[in-house]
């Protein structure tokens, strides 16, 4: 495994709509392993492939319950609302309030191309939405209704 460089806000690769994965091969597995290691090294809870410069529909999430690997994920249901502070590893010093669904259901494929479903509430619902947005070129700052400065965040 290896750490990859994280693409920062302002890089146009973060604005692309990513293509679906069609090959579930060792190249994908290395990407997933590297993304997970890179996310952990940066203390993040989610990372999408465009954030390491790969314009494919791949994301990893770990909100503390172990890794979730998402390939070609699709949100199939959204319910309720939550309004919390969110950040992004591509913009380490920016935080803002974003409204997200309280509960989401996602269908995706695992690293072997097998379909699975994942349901999330609270932070997992937020992470699922945030990472899937990345695959469509959408950043949390597009959706934030109020930015907070870093000192405010650290008091939380
Ligand atoms: Co992000």
Domain at 141, CATH number: 3.90.45.10
Residue 1 maps to a domain? no
Residue 104 maps to a domain? yes
User: 43 CA distance to ligand 1 centroid (A)?
Assistant: 12
The CB-side HSE value for 131 (13 A sphere, CA atoms) comes to 34
Residue 2 maps to a domain? no
In this predicted structure, the answer to whether residue 153 has a pLDDT above a threshold of 90 is no
Residue 122 maps to a domain? yes
Helix (H, G, I), strand (E, B) or coil at 54: coil
Residue 3 maps to a domain? no
Strands (E), the chain: 46-48, 58-61, 68-79, 82-88, 91-100, 103-109, 115-121, 146-148
User: 39 CA distance to ligand 1 centroid (A)?
Assistant: 11
Residues known to be catalytic: 131
In this predicted structure, the answer to whether residue 154 has a pLDDT above a threshold of 80 is no
pLDDT at residue 1, rounded to an integer: 79
In this predicted structure, the answer to whether residue 156 has a pLDDT above a threshold of 50 is no
In this predicted structure, the answer to whether residue 151 has a pLDDT above a threshold of 70 is no
Residue 48 maps to a domain? yes
User: 140 CA distance to ligand 1 centroid (A)?
Assistant: 7
Containing domain of residue 137, as a range? 12-155
State mean pLDDT over 44-49: 98
Residue 58 maps to a domain? yes
Q: For residues 45 and 64, give the distance between their C-alpha atoms in angstroms, rounded to a whole number.
A: 8
82 closest CA partner among 5, 150, 145, 154: 145
pLDDT at residue 21, rounded to an integer: 98
Number of domains present in the structure of the chain: 1
Q: For residues 78 and 150, give the distance between their C-alpha atoms in angstroms, rounded to a whole number.
A: 30
User: 127 CA distance to ligand 1 centroid (A)?
Assistant: 9
pLDDT at residue 149, rounded to an integer: 79
Residue 123 maps to a domain? yes
């Amino acid at each position: 495994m290896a750490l990859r460089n994280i693409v920062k806000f302002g890089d146009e690769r973060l604005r692309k709509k990513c293509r679906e994965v069609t090959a579930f091969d060792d190249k994908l597995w290395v990407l997933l392993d590297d993304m997970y290691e890179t996310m952990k090294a940066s203390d993040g809870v989610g990372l999408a492939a465009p954030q390491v410069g790969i314009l494919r529909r791949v994301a990893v999430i770990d909100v503390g319950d172990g890794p979730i690997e998402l390939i070609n994920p699709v949100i199939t249901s959204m319910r309720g609302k939550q309004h919390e502070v969110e950040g992004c590893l591509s913009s380490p010093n920016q935080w803002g309030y974003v409204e997200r669904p309280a509960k989401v259901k996602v269908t995706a494929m695992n690293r072997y191309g097998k379909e699975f479903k994942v349901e999330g509430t609270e932070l997992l619902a937020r992470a699922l939405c945030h990472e899937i947005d990345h695959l469509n070129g959408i950043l949390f700052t597009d959706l934030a209704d109020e930015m907070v400065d870093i000192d405010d965040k650290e008091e939380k």
